[in-house]
Chains A and B, each alone.
Chain A
Amino acid sequence: MEISTRWKTRSKAMSSGGSTQRLDSVVGIADRPKRVSISAEIAIAIRAHARGEAPREACGIIIGSAPAASGGAPLRWIPTTNVLASSTLYEIDPAQLLRISLDADDAGESIWGIVHSHVASPAVPSVTDTTVAGYPDALYLLVSLAPSQAAPDGEPGIRAWWIVDQVATEVELVVQA
């Protein structure tokens, strides 16, 4: 009989203590990277997806070698469907999220970052955003389409946040050249 251990292995790798350690209790804010970076390729794709979905909020996931909180490297961007199709709210399609999560498990990878757009407001988590954030190990990236929030190069501004226990803490984000 086959016993799949891949998911178990991931759990243990992310666990600092015994097997009952919660995944989200591994890395305190103080121990997380102070600076994170994504490739220009991922940033371009995120911005394009945000523009394409406007006036609805866009969303997607960045897969990494490990969660951002554990110092994992971002590997690739996966755009997803906002099932709420709203200009002020987002929810990643649960069926897509499940497949992405299972694929990541099988590949020994993790959900590194969770991305969504704000159509007209700054790239700052709203109260709703912090309330629904359920991946404390992931980095939350927000991209704003508001002209006043543009990056120095004129492109939509992207900012990054840890959201733990409904508290958002900004982290420096570098878009690699």
Chain B
Amino acid sequence: MRYESIGDAIGGTPLVRVDALIPEAARAKGIHLYAKVEMLGPTGSIKDRTAKALIDDLVFKGLLAPGKELLEPTSGNTGAALAVHAAARGIPITLVMPSNVTEERRAFVRALGATIVDSPADQGSNGAVLLARAMAKADSKYVSPDQYSNQANPKVHEITTAPEILADLPEVDVVVAGLGTGGTATGLARYFAREKPSVKIWSAEPMPGEKVTGLRSLEDGFTPEVMDTELLAGRILVNSRDSIIGARALARATGILAGPSTGATLAVALRVARDAEPNSNIVFIACDAGWKYFSAGLGDGNLDEMEDALEGDVFWW
């Protein structure tokens, strides 16, 4: 395949059958499970789609004229993806991240030419958001993509992720996505409500107070503007431990090495599978790659210690 830009290589991710993980009872009912393998993009996460869509939207609106600079508070996948797509388009970018973010993550975005501004470690992600807002207020050169409120976020899933699923699996009945900004689930729900209303969209959410990197609980009191929960069939809460076990199970049983947020999504998919109608086809979004979490012990570390690592206030969305 030949492309004009790395941004053009986004999407078109594989849909892989992973029936090995389905409980016997569900398998006997003819239920099939598929992973939409999003970690095969340039930065190994579904945020490649989001970042490109956000930048495209700002360019389309004329907000990224020469002299302007992208500014985003993020320590994780969105920052990495924005750095890639900003580099591909020659747009300067500054990422605000807590000073305790690992050197691996800093090196990744620095290598792509991003400028890093440290926010206080003890204030976590919220501190990064506050500092970025203050910087944007003080200097008009900064333009924030703001994935939490920009409708380009759910839109990209409505016009790419969802149609890809339906094209690859017209007999799809259920799609399960993790709830981070809510962009994926909302975009999927809007598309299927229109094109195949019988498809149910479920979301995976961390338990209130527990942290599954990349996901957030609405019960913790923050609902992103892009999120439209009314379109969802339901939300299922997952604890950190099951998210880690889920990621390990997926890797061992299928060879798909994904992160804890994918593990959480898998856990919800299995739960939905148990109660699903016979012959249902269930898709879950494998949203980011597992190699990013080796230092936290995803591969074979102590479960309890990895839970501690996830409890750190650094997120990957």
Contact = CB atoms under 8 A, between A and B. Distances in A.
Interface of A: 1-5, 7-8, 11, 18-24, 83, 93-95, 97-99, 101-102, 105-106, 131-136
A22 B311 contact: yes
29 contacts: A2-B234, A3-B235, A3-B236, A4-B234, A4-B235, A4-B236, A4-B237, A7-B237, A11-B207, A11-B239, A20-B209, A20-B210, A21-B209, A23-B241, A24-B304, A24-B307, A93-B252, A95-B20, A97-B249, A98-B245, A99-B23, A102-B242, A102-B267, A132-B302, A133-B302, A133-B304, A134-B303, A134-B307, A136-B304
Nearest to B211: A20
A65 B31 CA distance: 30
Contacts of B266: 98
A20 B210 CA distance: 6
A101 B263 CA distance: 13
How extensive is the interface on chain B, given as a class? 35 or more
A94 B245 contact: yes
Interface stretch (B47-55, B166-174, B225-233, B280-288): B225-233
A83 B252 contact: yes
A98 B274 CA distance: 13
The 4 closest A-B pairs by CB, nearest first: A134-B303, A2-B234, A20-B209, A19-B209
Contact of A98 (B235, B236, B267, B311): B267
A162 B6 CA distance: 52
Given A11-B210, A95-B21, A98-B267, A1 B230 contact: yes
B16 interface: no
Contacts of B306: 134
Contacts of B20: 95
B208 interface: yes
B35 interface: no
Interface of B: 20-21, 23, 207-210, 219, 229-230, 232-239, 241-242, 245-246, 248-249, 251-253, 266-267, 270-271, 274, 302-307, 311
A135 B303 CA distance: 7
Contacts, number: 93
Given A1-B234, A4-B234, A22-B307, A106 B253 contact: no
Contact of B241 (A5, A101, A132): A101
B252 A134 contact: no
A4 B267 CA distance: 13
Nearest to B245: A98
Contacts of A1: 229-230, 232-235
A98 B232 contact: no
B191 to A, nearest CB: 18
Contact of B245 (A21, A23, A97, A132): A97
Contacts of A24: 304, 307
A120 to B, nearest CB: 24
Contacts of B207: 7-8, 11, 19
A134 B234 CA distance: 30
